[in-house]
Structure 1
Amino acid sequence: MIGMSGTKNRIVALAAAVSFACVSPVVAQDEFTSYSTTKGGCAPEQSLENLIYWTPSTISGPGFACILNESVLAGTGLAGYDSICYFADKELSGIVVFGAPRFPPNDDHFSLQLPNSSTFEMYPCTQVSGVTGTN
């Protein structure tokens, strides 16, 4: 994840200071779980470095950690959060956008776009409503 312990400490402190994020009505509680950035990446023999962890107030993954604040309009089939994100030594405020699973063949994962324009596919490691299968 993030290599700088000072950055991790800031994230933990900010997360503690922020009350639970406003959850968009399109987000179901079972969506707050772990995801792999690759299909089949949740298997025990796979690297933990490719996992993304999503909670009601944070999301973190390979090289990033974000505090999710208020939900914002992001478009049809999208959930957006005003966020503060950390990338190595860089702090960036902006919108984190989650794309809902669509029709086959894209009904088995979410998409994620970070404020620095990084994008990830998020394949759930546990069963999630509206997503076909698990990894």
Structure 2
Amino acid sequence: MCGQGSRRVLVSTADGARADTEALALYREKFRRRLPESLDELHGPTQGVGDLPLHMAWSGMASYDMSKSRQRMGLYRTVLHEGLRDDLPRHLNRNMLLHLWPVLRTLVGRTVCVVWVDAFPQLSSRTRSAA
């Protein structure tokens, strides 16, 4: 299951519902276009300090200590939401993503989670706790 949160109830006209559906499809496509071809492309750091460029860290923290669980999760959440196609291999690591996914999937938005699980089914089988 991806994400946590309430579902939005549409109380609008047919045109409004259609607009909401189209907006969601565009939002999903934005994240789909950023995906790597394979998780094997993800060779980002697993230790040290991860520094994110301004286009990803525009709203806050830019340096993350990979030895600290909360900071590591924060970096991955930020990259999954804000990273562009070329950023993902540079800042994410395949093994770390697989390890963090059970918790990370509850921290990223539902749309991001669904797009990643649809593209990489091995993520959906990750159910153990992450550190």
TM-score, normalised with respect to structure 2: 0.27
TM-score, normalised with respect to structure 1: 0.26
- Structure with higher Rg: it is 2
| Structure having the larger proportion of residues in helix | 2
| Structure having the larger proportion of residues in strand | 1
